[in-house]
Amino acid sequence: MPRGCISLLSMKTNPPTCAYRDGHYVLPPLPYDAADLEPLLDKQTVLLHHDKHHAAYVTGANEAVDILRRVQTGELDPAAAPDATSRLAFNLGGHILHCLYWESITPEDGEQPMGELLDAINRSFCSVEGFRRVFRSVTLAIQGSGWGVLGVDSASGLLRVFGICRHQDVLIPGFLPILACDVWEHAYYLRYHNKRADYIDSFLKHIDWFHSHQRLTSNYHES
């Protein structure tokens, strides 16, 4: 892969656990029991989100890849390829971001970033509080369905926050996500109803900084 072409491709190397195996995208198990995320999220929300929504993106990505394979072998008209790549971008983006999301949250309350990650946050946002201000505002402002994402801008080495619409819009080349907050309504509506801000505030208290730290150090040094 060319070094500059990051976006979804590099997210694939940014190891969502067990996201791809034997030629197919696969749904990884939750890294905790679905009931363990109380009070951040209720068990019903987590199960529906993982078993139905996330699973549907895995299925959609595999279906899109199958169409592309059939175009490559001549079984399907090449005219099918553009739509298949659009479907792949949407569904694969959803799959990868959900893998990241499950590892971005923890039942623990009030973990703090440490070490190299804390240094990067301070360098990039002046302070953890500076990061929280930007992340909260950007994520809250996403119109419709999308994600608030923290990641490494490979041009500067600094951390940046971006809002992603749907699963794939406004991803810049060279951006390596290390933390993701799903603000599609299916992620929070049963518990928080229309109060997205309350959900984001709760998310910010339940970030799994350990996994973000691992992702930062492994990807940063490999890229």
List the interface residues with Mn ion, window 186-215 (CB under 5 A): 187
In the structure encoding, which two tokens stand for residue 110, read together?
């009030």
Q: Which is nearer to Mn ion, 182 or 208 (CB)?
A: 182
Stretch that binds Mn ion, among 46-54, 77-85, 156-164, 166-174 (CB under 5 A): 46-54
Q: Distance (Å, rounded) from C-alpha 164 to C-alpha 93?
A: 10
Least Cβ distance, residue 173 to Mn ion (angstroms):
24
- Tell the residue number behind the tokens 């491709």, with chain if given: 9
Compute the least distance from the CB of residue 186 to Mn ion, in Å.
5
Shortest spacing between CB 208 and Mn ion, in angstroms: 17
Binding to Mn ion, residues 50-69 (CB under 5 A): 53
Type and span of the H or E element at 164: strand 159-165
Nearer to Mn ion, 55 or 81 (CB): 55
Half-sphere exposure of 207 (CA within 13 A, CB side): 24
Closest distance to Mn ion from the beta carbon of 105 (Å): 12
Q: Read off the tokens for 185.
A: 């309504």
**For the window 153-192, what string marks contact with Mn ion as x by the rule CB under 5 A?**
-----------------------------x-x--x-----
Tell me the site size for Mn ion, rule CB under 5 A: 4
CB of 111 to Mn ion, least distance (A): 22
The minimum distance between CB 100 and Mn ion, in angstroms, equals 11
Nearest-CB residue to Mn ion? Answer: 182
Decide whether 45 or 154 has the Cβ nearer to Mn ion. 45
Do 154 and 175 touch, CB atoms closer than 8 A?
yes
Name 149's bridge partners: 162, 180
**Residue with smaller CB distance to Mn ion, 53 or 133:** 53
From its phi and psi, is residue 211 left (phi > 0), alpha (psi between -120 and 50) or beta?
Answer: alpha
CA–CA dist 132, 139 (Å, integer)? 10
Residues with Cβ within 8 Å of residue 187, at least 6 apart in sequence: 45, 49, 101, 199
Residue ranges binding Mn ion (CB under 5 A): 53, 182, 184, 187
